[in-house]
Amino acid sequence: MVERGGSGAGGDDSRDTAPAGVRGPFSVPDFRALWTAEVLSVAGDQVARVALTVLVLNETGSVAWSAGVYALTFLPALLGGLLLGHLADRWPRRRLLIGTDLLRAGLVVAMAVPGPGLPVLAVLLILIVLLGGPHTAARSALLPDLLSGDLLARGLALRQVSVQIAQVVGFAGGGLLVATLTPRGALLVDAATFVLSAVVVAIGVRSPHASVAAGPAADPGAPVAEPGSAPATPVRWTARSGAWWRSALGGLPVVFGHPRRRSLALVAWMLGIFVLPEALAAAYAVGIGAGPAATGLLMAADPAGSAVGALVVAYLLPARLRERGIVPLAVGAALPLALTPLAAGLWQAVALWAVSGACATACLIAAQSGFARATPSAVRGSAVGVAASGLVASQGVAVFAGGILAEWTAPATALGVFGAVGIVLALATVRMLRSAGPEAVA
C-alpha cells in the first residue's frame, strides 16, 4: 500500500502544474529518480533470487534447502514492513532510502564472499529482506508528496507495470548472469544495483519532503492530525513515552482507528486471494494434461492482465470513478476464478486469469491511491508498513490454504472455491466502504 501528501490535503501546489498526459508522472524529476532506483533494485532482486537458488542447490544438493532459501526472499518482508516501516516517519526519507540501499549492498557482497555456510547465508538474506521494509515504506510514503491528484494513480500504475517488466527481465537476465559469471558473480551484480539505486536517489531526489523527517517528534500511537483538522499535540519518542514496540506497532491504530483507511486496507488485503493462480499454475497444467509450456502461459496470464489493468485504470478510467469502481473491480477479479472449473481447455483458463489479474490490479491501484489521500504524511510510513505487511500475509495465507485445498480436491476446484469466496468478500465490502466516507464507493 502507498501514500498521500503533505500534512493533509495540501502540499506543494506547484506539483499540480505537471502535465496530465502519459508522461505526466515522468515530468516530475523526483519521481523519475525514484522510479529508476526501484526498477534497478527490483531487477537486481530477481537476479539474486536466481543466483541464491542455484548457489544453495550447488553447495547442498538439496532441492528443499534451495526452495527454503527462495522462500526467505519473501517471508521476512511481513515483519520488515510492520516492525520497521515506522522508520520512514522518524528519519528523512531520502536518507533512509540511500542508507538501506547501501546496507543491503554490503550484505549482498558478504553473501558473495566464498566461505560462509548456509546458516550465515540465511541470516544475511533475512537482514536484507527486513531492510526492504523501511525502504519500501519510505518510497511509498514519499510518492504522494511528489504526485498530486490524478498523477498519483498514474504514477502507481507506471510503477506496477515497470516492476513486473523488471521482474521478468531480472529473472531472464539472472539465468544468463549465473551461467556467465557464476552465482557469486551474479550476487555482486545485485549489490551493484543497490549502489546504483542509492546514487540515483542521492542525485535525483531533491524534494524538501524527502529531506526532513515527516514526523520528527510524532508518536504513531498518538492521535493523528487528519486533513483539515487542527494538528495533534506531538508526543516526543523517548523511553518514557513509549519503547520500540510502541513505535513499531503504532501504525496499527493509524490504519484501524480511521474508518476510510481501515476499509481501503482491508480491500487491499482481500485482493491477496487473487495471487493463487500463479501458485497453482503448474498443478493446473498437469491436471488438464498440458506441459511446461502451458505452465509458462498460465503463470504469465496474471501479470500480463495486471499490466493492462494498471494502464486502463490510470489512463482510461476517469479519476472520479476509480474508487467508485472498487467493488465492481473486486468482483471482476473473483468471478473469472469462480468460472475456472468450467474452462474448456488452456486458452480459456489463460483468458480468465488475465481478466482476473487486470481487475485485481485496477482495484488495488484505486485502493492504494485512496489510502494515500486519506493518510497524513507524518504517519504515512507507519501506515504503509502495516498495509503492505497485511497484503503479504494475505497472499501467503491464500497460497497456503489454496495449496492444501488443491491437494484435497483439484487445482481448478480450489480456484473456483477461492473465486466464490472472493465474490462474497467483495460484496460484503459495499456497506463497509459506504460507511467509510463519500469517496470510497458509489
Residues 406 and 281 in one domain: yes
Q: What is the DSSP string of 57-102?
A: HHHH--HHHHHHHHHTTTTTHHHHHHHHTTHHHHS-HHHHHHHHHH
Q: Specify the pLDDT at position 58.
A: 78
Residues 267 and 411 in one domain: yes
Structural domain harbouring 161: 24-217
Determine the Cα–Cα distance for residues 407 and 423; give it in Å rounded to an integer. 23
The C-alpha cell 515506522 sits at 86
Alpha-carbon Rg for the chain in angstroms? 21
Cβ atoms within 10 Å, residue 158: 21
Residues 148 and 277 in one domain: no
C-alpha cell at 148: 498530486
Residues 136 and 260 in one domain: no
For residue 224, being part of any structural domain is answered with no
Residues 76 and 212 in one domain: yes
160 close to 361: Cβ distance less than 8 angstroms: yes
For residue 319, being part of any structural domain is answered with yes
**CATH number of domain containing 353:** 1.20.1250.20
Any residues with CB less than 8 A from the CB of 17 and at least 6 apart, and which? Answer: none
Residues 169 and 287 in one domain: no
The alpha carbon of 196 is separated from its chain's Cα centroid by a whole number of angstroms, namely 21
Q: Give whole-number Cα distances, 251 to 74, 87, 269, in Å.
A: 21, 11, 16
C-alpha cell at 320: 472520479
For residue 148, being part of any structural domain is answered with yes
Could you tell me the mean pLDDT of each successive run of 10 residues in the chain, 442 residues long?
Answer: 33 38 76 92 82 78 65 67 76 91 94 83 86 86 83 83 77 75 88 95 87 53 43 39 57 80 87 84 82 74 84 76 82 94 89 93 87 81 79 80 86 92 88 63 38
Residues 7-21: b if buried by 16+ CB within 10 A, e if exposed: ebeebeeebeebeee
The number of folded domains in the chain is: 2
Residues 142 and 271 in one domain: no
Q: Give whole-number Cα distances, 218 to 28, 90, 208, 242, 371, in Å.
A: 29, 8, 19, 11, 20
Residues 318-337: b if buried by 16+ CB within 10 A, e if exposed: ebeebbbbbbbbbbbbbbbb
For residue 414, being part of any structural domain is answered with yes
Q: Specify the pLDDT at position 171.
A: 63
C-alpha cell at 146: 511528489
Any residues with CB less than 8 A from the CB of 219 and at least 6 apart, and which? Answer: 234, 235, 236, 237, 241, 242, 246, 247, 250
276 close to 415: Cβ distance less than 8 angstroms: yes
Cβ atoms within 10 Å, residue 400: 11
The alpha carbon of 158 is separated from its chain's Cα centroid by a whole number of angstroms, namely 13
164 close to 311: Cβ distance less than 8 angstroms: no
Q: What size, in residues, is the chain?
A: 442
240 close to 79: Cβ distance less than 8 angstroms: no
Among 195, 217, 239, which residue terminates a domain? 217
Cβ atoms within 10 Å, residue 23: 12
For residue 1, being part of any structural domain is answered with no
Residues 198 and 52 in one domain: yes
Q: How far apart are the first and last CA of the chain?
A: 22
For residue 8, being part of any structural domain is answered with no
Q: Give whole-number Cα distances, 262 to 84, 195, 256, 361, in Å.
A: 20, 36, 5, 19
C-alpha cell at 70: 527462495
375 three-class SS: coil
Residues 173 and 295 in one domain: no
Q: Give whole-number Cα distances, 140 to 86, 125, 210, in Å.
A: 12, 23, 12
Residues 289 and 184 in one domain: no
Residues 201 and 278 in one domain: no
Any residues with CB less than 8 A from the CB of 370 and at least 6 apart, and which? Answer: 260, 264, 322, 323, 326, 439, 440
Q: Please tell me the pTM assigned to this model.
A: 0.69
Determine the Cα–Cα distance for residues 86 and 101; give it in Å rounded to an integer. 17
243 three-class SS: coil
Cβ atoms within 10 Å, residue 167: 16
Determine the Cα–Cα distance for residues 38 and 197; give it in Å rounded to an integer. 7
Determine the Cα–Cα distance for residues 363 and 367; give it in Å rounded to an integer. 6
For residue 231, being part of any structural domain is answered with no
C-alpha cell at 96: 533512509
312 three-class SS: helix
Q: Specify the pLDDT at position 75.
A: 65
For residue 402, being part of any structural domain is answered with yes
Q: Specify the pLDDT at position 341.
A: 93
Residues 298 and 395 in one domain: yes
